[in-house]
Chains A and B, each alone.
Chain A
């Protein structure tokens, strides 16, 4: 079974703080994704990476950056957290032999 883990289930940060969200997968998948989920807005893609050190912007990259130094790890960085970044953050991986994505449990981030 594919296992995708996220560093925290719940996180509370203050406005202006730099926030790191970590995602680790154990299946050697090339592709990794970061989404945020908000009520009524579905899953919105922030960034994705199709290889180590490679990244592409998704639909809502503003205010975020990412890092992928190792294949198994994909980090999402909020450079200066703001209250409108309060959300559920979901990491996912994808293997090129199929089309389904495998998601982590999510991190509920609250910015106060």
Chain B
């Protein structure tokens, strides 16, 4: 049973437009969510996170939205740039779990931003 799902394996957008990456989760115990970005031949790097007490968190061009009732979160990138082309992983954890750092990851979405 996959607890974190990214249903779109790939997304292609034009430079300057908005990129929206989606993620769904099933475990009600998850209350902290993270996005990671991964370039080929490199390890993932942390991008942005949100806790369940918020419904939005912004960091520059990146905004994460959380809809707890729908168990859905999304990452918005505005404006998209060619350097944003990468694989984006959604991850979830329970902050009060014994192993809170042990996140559950989605399968990833490959974003391609065309010049």
> A residues near B, CB below 8 A?
4, 9, 31, 33, 35, 40-43, 45, 48, 50, 56, 90-92, 94-96, 99-106, 108
Contacts and interface: CB of A to CB of B under 8 A. Distances in A.
B44 A43 contact: yes
Contacts, number: 63
A42 B107 contact: yes
21 contacts: A4-B43, A31-B99, A31-B101, A31-B102, A33-B102, A41-B107, A42-B89, A48-B102, A50-B99, A94-B101, A95-B101, A96-B100, A96-B101, A99-B100, A101-B36, A101-B101, A103-B43, A103-B45, A104-B43, A105-B42, A105-B43
B75 to A, nearest CB: 15
Q: Helix, strand, loop or mixed for chain B's interface?
A: loop
Interface residues of B, number: 24
Q: Helix, strand, loop or mixed for chain A's interface?
A: strand
Given A48-B102, A90-B44, A105-B42, A99 B107 contact: no
